Amino acid sequence: MKKNRRSFIKGSAIALSGSLLVPIACQSSSKPGNNKTAAGKLTLSFEPYELQLKHTFTLASSSRTTTPVMLTKLEYDGYTGYGEASMPPYLGESHETAQRFLSKVDLSGFSDPFLTEDILAYIDSIAPGNCAAKASVDIALHDLIGNILEIPLYKLWGLNPDHTPNTSFTIAIDTPEVVRQKVLEAADFRILKVKLGGGNDREMINAVREITDVPLCVDVNQGWTDKHTALDLIHWLKEQGVVFIEQPMPVEDLDEIAWLTEKSPLPVIADEAVQRLKDMIGLKGIYSGVNIKQMKCTGLREAWKMINFARAYGMTVMLGCMTETSCGVSAAAQLSPMVDFADLDGNLLISNDVFEGVKVIDGKLTLPDRPGIGVIKTGDIL
């Protein structure tokens, strides 16, 4: 944790240079050129990175082969915490926005990382949006705290690491041939998440079912437009061993989704319809569950609150991720003993991970016996 200190270049200088795709370590600090972490001083560094996807990732609305992330590091009194912002383009954040946001972060007013609520309220107040960038600070801060206390975050939250769920592995929209191949490669998983809404729904499910009979969950990413067709399809999907349907229709179709949820034989889970804690109140009566993601909700602290809120509401709770390194995924996995379903496979979809952390063993999320988010940095970054 205390190794790999190196020189940093001040973030604002990089922002001015504009060469954001070249991964260069940046430091947001009130004292440029001070490379040592002073006791009582919180220092944030960040570095853009481009995740390479093993397979082209096709959703109902888009297709891509890379995901930009911003990796962060918080240092305090010889301790280190790592964080990550994953920014799939459709969410509106980018290397440039994250760089701009993180360059504004001035932690000189905080001498104690344990003032988590204050620090994260300040981070949230810097600018609206920027949820992934905010999460990258939240994750690094929680990792730092866990490292200082020398306990994993699940222990800080009183959770039992044995209660982690199986994680689903995502099968993106593709031809039956590619789908079959991907399902074969996913033989270690006990539940699969199939992306639908691309116009070949039955073909997708049939291709999966040619290979495996594990439970399936389905993510439509708002891809269905007619509630009656959707309900027919859900009935058919239930017969195929599907356990829930995620974001079946566009978020603005509230009445249609409420109708579908009421009639659906499977739980209907909100994803794009919910970002943060404040959005939870409106879900009751429209969805029966929620997919909570750090990158949408600004990080672990708000995710923790959202899970508790959803539990009090009696909702099905799912924990999701973007394509992320093992840094982001291991952070989310620390919360996974609290949820019904986990879709924390983002690190398994990339070929250039720079962290080692949570493992999937026999399909189940297996938390490392290490403090904080439980990661080891394996790449030459930060």
**Residue ranges binding its own copies (CB under 8 A):** 114-118, 120, 145, 149, 151, 155-160, 163, 277-278, 280-281, 301, 305, 308-309, 312-313, 337-338
Residue placing its CB nearer to its own copies in the complex, 117 or 380: 117
Two structure tokens written together for 217: 């969950």
Q: How far is the CB of 157 from its own copies (least distance, A)?
A: 8
Residue placing its CB nearer to its own copies in the complex, 155 or 190: 155
Q: How far is the CB of 33 from its own copies (least distance, A)?
A: 31
Residue placing its CB nearer to its own copies in the complex, 195 or 301: 301
Q: How far is the CB of 309 from its own copies (least distance, A)?
A: 6
Residue placing its CB nearer to its own copies in the complex, 116 or 366: 116
Residue placing its CB nearer to its own copies in the complex, 74 or 207: 74
Distance (Å) of CA 225 to CA 130, 143, 251, 256, 287 = 29, 42, 11, 9, 17
Amino acid at the residue 119: I
Q: How far is the CB of 193 from its own copies (least distance, A)?
A: 26
Q: How far is the CB of 22 from its own copies (least distance, A)?
A: 36
Q: Which of 105, 102, 47, 36 is nearest to 75 (CA)?
A: 36
For 293, residues 6+ apart whose C-beta sits below 8 A from its C-beta are 271, 303, 319, 320, 321, 322, 332
Q: How far is the CB of 125 from its own copies (least distance, A)?
A: 15
Residue placing its CB nearer to its own copies in the complex, 181 or 366: 366
Q: How far is the CB of 327 from its own copies (least distance, A)?
A: 21
Q: How would you label 3-15 residue by residue, b for 16+ Cβ within 10 Å and e otherwise? A: eeeeebeebbebb
Radius of gyration (Cα) for the chain, nearest Å? 20
Orientation of helix 227-239 relative to helix 254-263, angle to 10°: 30
For 73, residues 6+ apart whose C-beta sits below 8 A from its C-beta are 44, 45, 46, 80, 81, 82, 83, 140, 382
Identify the helix (H) or strand (E) that includes residue 193. Answer: strand 192-195
Phi, psi of 344 (to 5 degrees): -115, 65
Residue placing its CB nearer to its own copies in the complex, 293 or 301: 301
Q: How far apart are CA 172 and CA 254, in angstroms?
A: 26
